[in-house]
């Protein structure tokens, strides 16, 4: 399987964030997923620029920054300056989405759009060619440890079909409830990047869990 694993530091031990980032840096993880929440777009607050800038010092992995905030345009450059390599904004938070995507690219970052569980992928048909990544939320955004929403599989298949026609190189990311039990099915549905928070940081052996998510075929054979 040729997919990427992006552990979410929202599920890390904030009291030992340096330790957890250094663990990710040595693991099979491909990206570090950074969830930014403002308490308005979602009912939770995570962290901002100072924490992200500090975290940037302890890993060389790309930062996959997921902005769950209102009016993200105000802060795009600040997140770039804090270490973002990819910036994903929510469709639901951007009334001028094309302009926002272009602004992200002008900063030198890869640009993504996230969709909440109730938002159909067809709404991206006029912007998909401009995107580097689409993030399908398989739980309602705002909190970790939620139950996976099964309609995600259909959304992934619909998005994959659209991308093959308009943007074959699109990265299709899934966030929420990803674990060793469903990752193979999610790959088959079209996803190629996986955010994993609780599944990694709540496990007894996070590096092994990351490896099992990265190479599930080896787990099946063992």
Q: Which of 20, 35, 64, 132 is catalytic?
A: 35
Kindly indicate the confidence band of residue 222, based on its pLDDT and cuts at 50, 70 and 90: very low
The predicted model scores a pTM of: 0.95
Q: DSSP E strands: which ranges in the chain?
A: 4-7, 32-37, 63-68, 86-90, 110-115, 133-137, 171-175, 193-196
- Residue with tokens 């040595």, as numbered in its chain: 26
pLDDT of 80 strictly over 60? yes
pLDDT attached to residue 145: 65
The radius of gyration of the chain from alpha carbons, rounded to an integer in Å, stands at 16
Which one, of 121, 94, 159, lies nearest residue 111 by Cα? 94
Contact 42, 68 (CB under 8 A): yes
Structure tokens at 118: 């109730």
Residue-level pLDDT at 221: 53
209/197 Cα distance (integer angstroms) = 11
Residue 58 has pLDDT above 70, yes or no: yes
How many Å apart are CA 214 and CA 5, to the nearest integer?
6
* pLDDT tens track for 174-209: 999 999 999 999 999 999 999 999 999 999 999 999
- Dump pLDDT digits (tens) for 98-136: 999 999 999 999 999 999 999 999 999 999 999 999 999
Catalytic annotation on 30?
no
Q: What Å distances lie between residue 82 and 48, 76, 94, 132, 202, CA to CA?
A: 9, 10, 22, 20, 27
Per-residue pLDDT tens for 125-169? Answer: 999 999 999 999 999 987 666 789 999 999 999 999 999 999 999
pLDDT band at 210, cuts 50/70/90?
very high
Considering the candidates 20, 38, 64, 175, report the single residue annotated as catalytic: 175
d(CA 49, CA 53): 6
Which phi and psi (to 5°) does residue 80 adopt? -60, -45
Residue 4 tokens, joined = 């990427």
Q: Count of CB atoms within 10 A of residue 118's CB?
A: 10
Residue 28 among the catalytic residues:
no
Contacts of 12 (CB under 8 A, 6+ apart): 20, 21, 201
């Amino acid at each position: 399987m040729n997919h990427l694993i992006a552990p979410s530091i929202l599920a890390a031990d904030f009291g030992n964030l340096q330790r957890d980032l250094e663990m990710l840096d040595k693991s099979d993880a491909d990206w570090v997923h950074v969830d930014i929440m403002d308490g308005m777009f979602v009912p939770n607050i995570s962290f901002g620029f100072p924490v992200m800038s500090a975290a940037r010092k302890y890993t060389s992995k790309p930062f996959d920054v997921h902005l769950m905030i209102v009016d993200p345009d105000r802060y795009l450059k600040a997140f770039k300056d804090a270490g973002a390599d990819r910036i994903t904004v929510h469709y639901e938070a951007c009334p001028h989405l094309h302009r926002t995507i272009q602004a992200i690219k002008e900063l030198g970052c890869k640009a993504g759009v996230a969709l909440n569980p109730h938002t159909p992928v067809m709404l991206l048909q006029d912007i998909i060619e401009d995107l580097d990544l689409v993030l399908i939320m398989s739980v309602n955004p705002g909190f970790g440890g939620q139950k996976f929403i099964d309609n995600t599989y259909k959304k992934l298949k619909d998005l994959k079909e659209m991308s093959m026609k308009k943007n074959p190189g699109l990265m299709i990311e899934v966030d929420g409830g990803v674990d060793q039990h469903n990752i193979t099915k999610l790959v088959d549905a079209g996803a190629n990047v996986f955010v994993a928070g609780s599944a990694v940081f709540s496990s007894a052996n996070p590096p092994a869990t990351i490896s099992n998510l990265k190479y599930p075929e080896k787990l099946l054979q063992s």
